[in-house]
Chains A and B, each alone.
Chain A
Amino acid sequence: MGRIVIDPLTRIEGHLKIEAVVEQGEVKEARSSGTLFRGIELILRGRDPRDAQRITQRICGVCPTSHSIAASLNLDSAFGIADKIPDNGRIIRNLILGAAHIADHILHFYHLAALDYVDIAKVAKYEGKDPALSSIKSFIERRELAPFLPRYEGDYRLEKKVNLQAVAHYVQAFDMRRKGQEMLAIFGGKIPHDAAIVPGGVTEVPTVDKITSFLWRLNELREFIDNVYIPDVLAVAQAYSDYFEIGAGCGSLLSYGSYDLDGKEVDLIKRQRLFKPGTISTNLKLARLDPAKITEEVKHSWYADTTTGRKPAAGDTIPQTGKDGAYSWVKSPRYEGKVYEVGPLARMLVTYASGNAEVKSVVDSALAQLKASPSALFSVLGRHAVRALETKLIADSMPGWLLSLKPGEPVYTEYEIPEEATGMGLVEAARGALGHWIEIKKRKIANYQCVVPSTWNFSPRDDKNQPGPLEQALIGAKIKDEANPIEIGRIIRSFDPCLACAVHLITPKGRSLGEFRVS
């Protein structure tokens, strides 16, 4: 029996360590561990509630926009103005979030995940004149190959032409994701950590130059998504088609829904949104989402058992180092006590099953091209493919939103900070369902809790000993060479992990890794 440790797992956000027990080339058990702690929720206590919108963005520099919007929805609801955000403000928030998701998904596929499939070293033999490839060839000839080598060696299967093209696109994608961030900053002020989203709406007013500048960056990105990103994902899918059967995970998906299409409904679950809220499993049967059924369990986390099973709004964090059977600082969010995966796959399939015609058409045509059934989407490649299709759906929705902005109309509504209040903000981050909860007392933050996508996806075993989604996805994976466990990297990165988000909880005592070592 072998033990594989990957620390650090790179090309993700944050500090992640993976341990897997391998028997005869197959993963029997897997555990994921975040290796950094800050304590943002504790830092928030006692502060002006409005500051939460600025500080929670800084939980994560990769997905600050999602925290920015979750915090704003949370504060809107606590301040009693959830139904009073002007249309311009609501739409600009959507445009900012959309720009963030487009840039994020491109970054994830090309710069975080692709190096598991694409072999950059093969450019050494390139003979053509493409400027990006020529500059990489010169780079290789200088023989200092960091940060592309060393790497796990393995089955880099793309045929020569496709591989070269993918490397050229790796370079092009740097520019594309940057343009996505520029598009975001046109209305957001700057990024990472936007300046213009606030409770009450936004501070940036729409003008014709901003609208057109945004539009033409968006048009360029839409061309890239249609003609480069989606074809590249499909090309990888064709060469690595066995990954439609690898990394299935827990088979249950959960989405809060996202992109507000209506500004009057106070209940976020009833609000009209581009992506629908709900839960779904491999049989594609849709169920209504009730946020009151979310709890966080801690049997296998280093927290006091007295805090287990609580709803996030009533959450508490009492660390207990050295607790028997515990092996993670990440709690285990569960819905009706069951394990759920969150992310693009969840919101696209929930929206698909809700009967959204556009989503049905993009998903069905991709499935036809891949000769795959919807259940094949519960896999490494399924997550990549759906993420790319979602990027298209969002990007194609944005011109309509953009052109419905009304220069001269308000973007922001004023409010009073209440003496006492509670709030909830639910949105979809690039990586999945993101929830913020606040309790205000004496006009200050009494309690602030975030349940983030990577807490769901990277959770440890729960009170019923059910492994978390990633842990389930790793079990059964075949590892050809334990010294080069490229297969593990492929499975993990399909979830697009974001550990700064997952381990933002507090702990006044250190950790003691090592107790769960199995060999």
Chain B
Amino acid sequence: MTQNSINHFFKKYGAPYLFISPFYILFAVFMVYPVINSLYLSFHQWNGSTERIYVGWENYINLIHDGVFIQSLINCVIIFFEYVPIMTFFAVVLAYILNMGKLKLQSFFRTSIFIPYITPVIAVGFVFSLLLDRDYGLVNLLLGYLGIKPVEWLLTPTLARIAISVLVTWRWLGYNMIIMLAGLQSIPLELYDAAKVDGASGTQSFFRITLPLMRPIILFATVLSTIGTFSLFTEPLILTQGGGPMYSTLTPVLYLYSNAFQYLKFGYSSSIAYVYFIILFILTRFEWRYFGSQAV
């Protein structure tokens, strides 16, 4: 390499390399290093101040037998199935309705359904704590008018999970609706016209044209919901003080946080982080494979 060719190299490529370097520097320092360090820590026992003790696979073995961790995974699966199918379906339906374009107040509806998404999760958590209070909450008051006895929202495992599902649905419905709207708007109108010519009804077009073509975007939304459900942290923390009755609303991230920052089990929590990572990866790959491959 002559001095000249080096100069030439920098002159030609210096700018782009420089421009993208911030990302890679930050990536190396704040992502690659911690990820590797996390793996390293997961094979040790460490309380953050004394030396790290090498324990091999012990953390992982304990994790597999850890009933509380398994419960946190089960919780997420239950919550996922409690709200994702319903929410995704309604998001599509709402998007479809709002897309028809001939409604007055359309932007008002769209805005009001979307607003929950931008409210700070903390604030939402506290408000729902008040609304779902067994003795003083508005929800039980309204249910009372329908003749239903006070529901112990956050006090039984099943109801606590349902409460979280309700909160999450309330929060993400608008966001999912917007994404579905985007997907809808990319479907060429000619397809609908052609279908009408062939005598298809509105419902038929919906199920035969809309849904199949929306598959990629529905898949995208589902993947986001999966990641979102398993990484729930703030909602259970505020609504159920981080665990809920009998660990019913504990999530992997909450468990990670408490092991690290309340019990100083840095090694164990790193192993939780990795298993969480692997599970998320497998789940999203599975969803991609299963739903993605059946695209029209």
Does B associate with A?
no
